[in-house]
Homo-oligomer: A and B are copies of this chain.
Amino acid sequence: MKKVKVFAPGSIGNVGSGFDVFGLALDGLGDILEVKESSNGKLNILKIEGDDGISTDPDKNIVTVGAKALLKEVGSDQGYDFIIKKGVLSGSGLGSSGSSATAGVFAINELLGNPYTREELLPFAAIGEKVASFIPHYDNVAPSMLGGFTVVRSDDPLEILQVDIPENLHLALVRPNVMIKTKEAKKMLGETMLISNAVHQFGNIAGLIIGMHRNDIPLIGRSVEDKLAEPVRSKLIPNYNIAKEAALNSGAAGFNISGSGPAMFAICDGKVVTENVIEALREVYQDDEKANYYISKSDLLGTRRID
């Protein structure tokens, strides 16, 4: 019986200004998935570790829904057993669903002898990710699959662009212990935005890409400013404004919500600053005993085998 063990990094979706478009893979934070051929011709979730809130029904679980779509496409009726180790909590805003979706299709593709490239796997991962959000979108699955910083230039036809990241760019992350579901967070935004706000966003999106190319971390930091989701979603996050101010006062170049939150990220130039920012954030959330803190750089490898 063939088997495989893969790691899929979590990610920051949106990265502030790039709503539904930018994504950044996170180093040292992600899902581990073991998949083994089974003889019963079905997809079976044997175990989920690290997150109690996830369905083991293969028709409702992100991992198996994506895997099933891929198996259907290649016309395989092989069964598989799945063991899922969640390193990214669902509803955290750290790309949990993207990580799971990516791990599932990547593992199956490996077991099938790699008929598809990573890029070609993205639509199947997006089908899995759809379980967690309204429509298939790519701002988490793309960085999770490919690593680094990704841009969804177009989702139909799909065109993902990768952008190099300054070597010294670090992320300070905090996840307070509240849960925000992407579906609900999307609904809150309504369907339109002010053109004047869109224009601000256009400038910041361009600024962020230029900052990446110039290795200009202060420019990247200024450019994560967001006029679309942040004003609405920040209200769901306890002490958001206090946390932002504390991070910026401690030397962060920029601060915003990761995906639909509640996790937040700070753009930092170097490890020392990052540690100072984490220290400041710990103080803000000192009463939240279940809050998590991470220091991360970008994961440049994307989803890969670890067996």
Show the binding face of A for B, using Cβ within 8 Å.
Answer: 17-22, 151-155, 159, 161, 163, 189-196, 198-210, 213, 219, 222-223, 228
Closest to A164 in B: B213
Q: How far is the CA of A145 from the CA of B208 in the complex (A)?
A: 23
Interchain Cβ contacts under 8 Å between A and B, 10 examples: A20-B202, A21-B199, A153-B219, A154-B204, A161-B206, A192-B193, A195-B228, A209-B210, A209-B213, A213-B213
Closest to A203 in B: B153
**In contact, B203 and A152 (Cβ under 8 angstroms):** yes
Q: How far is the CA of A151 from the CA of B214 in the complex (A)?
A: 14
A182 to chain B, nearest CB (A): 15
**In contact, B154 and A202 (Cβ under 8 angstroms):** no
Q: How far is the CA of A196 from the CA of B21 in the complex (A)?
A: 11
Partner of A161 from the list B18, B19, B20, B207 (CB cut-off 8 Å) is B207
**In contact, A190 and B195 (Cβ under 8 angstroms):** yes
**In contact, A195 and B189 (Cβ under 8 angstroms):** yes
Closest to A202 in B: B21
Tell me which residues across on chain B come within 8 A of A163, comparing CB atoms: 210
Tell me which residues across on chain B come within 8 A of A20, comparing CB atoms: 199, 202
**In contact, B199 and A19 (Cβ under 8 angstroms):** yes
Tell me which residues across on chain B come within 8 A of A21, comparing CB atoms: 199, 202-203, 206
**In contact, B202 and A19 (Cβ under 8 angstroms):** yes
Q: How far is the CA of A126 from the CA of B276 in the complex (A)?
A: 41
**In contact, B19 and A210 (Cβ under 8 angstroms):** no
**In contact, A151 and B228 (Cβ under 8 angstroms):** no
Tell me which residues across on chain B come within 8 A of A192, comparing CB atoms: 192-195
Q: How far is the CA of A195 from the CA of B191 in the complex (A)?
A: 6
A224 to chain B, nearest CB (A): 12
Q: How far is the CA of A223 from the CA of B153 in the complex (A)?
A: 8
Q: How far is the CA of A196 from the CA of B19 in the complex (A)?
A: 10
Of A19, A152, A191, A203, most buried by chain B (CB within 10 Å of CB) is A203
Q: How far is the CA of A18 from the CA of B203 in the complex (A)?
A: 8
Of A20, A198, A204, A210, most buried by chain B (CB within 10 Å of CB) is A198
